[in-house]
Structure 1
Amino acid sequence: MTDTNTTRVAVLVGSLRADSLNRKLAELLRDEAPAGVTLDIIDGLGEVPFYNEDLDGESAPAAAVALRERVAAADRVLAVTPEYNGTMPAVLNNAIDWISRPYGAGAVVGKPFGVIGATPTPYGGKWAHGDTARSAGIAGAIVVEDVTVSQPAVDVDPTTDPDVRAKLLAALGTLVDFAPEASAA
């Protein structure tokens, strides 16, 4: 981080679809982030090969190296994801696998981590969000439980509903304001 007055949040979007609702939510948060907060939506997750220890090391794939560098440069990490078949999308799981290595020293280790998203179900992606939080925690992130927002998108458009937008922005604020040292006490 170059500006000590700016909090940089790396954003991992779990959907690759061009018209993804979750990408739109990530963009909304980026565009409406409070002063002093920059959201870096990391594109190219679909180009990162499936994690394979044989590929990792000094000659790791460029897309995986870029992912690690952008997460390492961030102060916080936010996953914005739908739910596929009751769990997180493979592309998000793969991104977490790459940023968790080397074990104990990966790009996500020690970083506050939150997860939000919306799905067109009554559950709003809660299983995917729980799996994402668990995986990130095992990878060494500090999961900020108060950030998790699993938004049903059945009868509401999360991108335009003022209550949903306020809830998502509040979750971002909680992630940004989280003090890692307070969680260790």
Structure 2
Amino acid sequence: MARGGQGLARVAVVVRAGAAPLWWCGVFAAGVGVLPSGITGRRIGVMAGAALFIVAAAVVTLVRRKRYTALARAAVRASKHDVLQDRGVAVRNWRRGHRWWLLLAFAAALGSAFAVPAAAGLLLAGCGTGLRLKAAWLGRLERAEDALLWVRVDWLAGNGGRPAGKAVRSYRSTGIAAGDAAPGGARRRTAALV
């Protein structure tokens, strides 16, 4: 980085990066998991899975909100020498760093279907939904503050990719138009040319 600048990744993008893989792994595992009747039977498995989906989505959405809010309020303005990481790069880095955990969770969800059909798959899907809801909440926070939140890439790397973990000491902020991701971490939509 030139002149003491830091590499920065969007907080909402990092949070949202795990949503799609967890959702799709969970949905696929739940779909395949319905095939065996399991120990409990399909009906109980699906009902337990639905309850786990709701609980997981709520817990993942709400956990560490105070930490995110405190870091957002104390965010300092990013330097002009800081390098803003593209959305695609941040998503790819997170998914690469967690691919074995995702694969292990998927395999565990498939294996558990022989005991409780579909339940673990729906739990995974609930975690993915919770991450998507948390990213949307961060997007509302960013719009309210009229600033995008960024975290240092080296702090993410030393913290298992968690943007609100212990290694993260502060956030940086930029104007709402910076970077290639909209508030909440989704792709920024460009206006159609007339």
The TM-score range, normalised by the shorter chain, is under 0.3
Normalising by structure 2, report the TM-score. Answer: 0.24
Higher Cα Rg, which structure: 2
- Of Structure 1 and Structure 2, the greater helix share is in 2
Higher share in strand: 1
Normalising by structure 1, we get a TM-score of: 0.25
